[in-house]
Amino acid sequence: MILSFGCLVERQRLDKWLWHARVVKARTSAAALVEGGHVRINGVRETSPGHAVKAGDVLTVGLDRSVRVLKVIGFAERRGDAESARVLYLDLQG
């Protein structure tokens, strides 16, 4: 289990996690990104925004002309500022 922002959370919806981690500006954008086939979880394309992600999952996200590879290390109940979003993942690209 991951302790984050005072709550115990083991899993979270993919679209919600992407939004909380500030990968996208809006939750609807996160859902559209997933539905469009631009997100992979542990190398497998996921098209369901409601798919649960857990700590340790590696997300590959295609954004515009770039690709981000993020390892899920935490969860949040609410979307915070950029600093609090950075503690939710480990950027595997550097």
**Which of the four pLDDT bands, split at 50, 70 and 90, describes residue 3?**
very low
The rounded distance, in Å, linking the Cα atoms of 50 and 31 is: 8
Residue type, 31: A
Q: Are 17 and 11 in contact (CB under 8 A)?
A: no
> Which domains can be identified in the chain, with CATH numbers?
2-91 (3.10.290.10)
Question: What pLDDT digit, counting tens, does each position of 11-56 carry?
Answer: 999 999 999 999 999 999 999 999 999 999 999 999 999 999 999 9
Q: What is the mean pLDDT of residues 76-80?
A: 92
Per-residue confidence (pLDDT) for residue 7, from 0 to 100:
52
Per-residue confidence (pLDDT) for residue 25, from 0 to 100:
95
Q: Are 24 and 18 in contact (CB under 8 A)?
A: yes
pLDDT at 4 over 50: no
Question: What pLDDT digit, counting tens, does each position of 63-72 carry?
Answer: 989 999 999 9
The structure's pTM equals 0.89
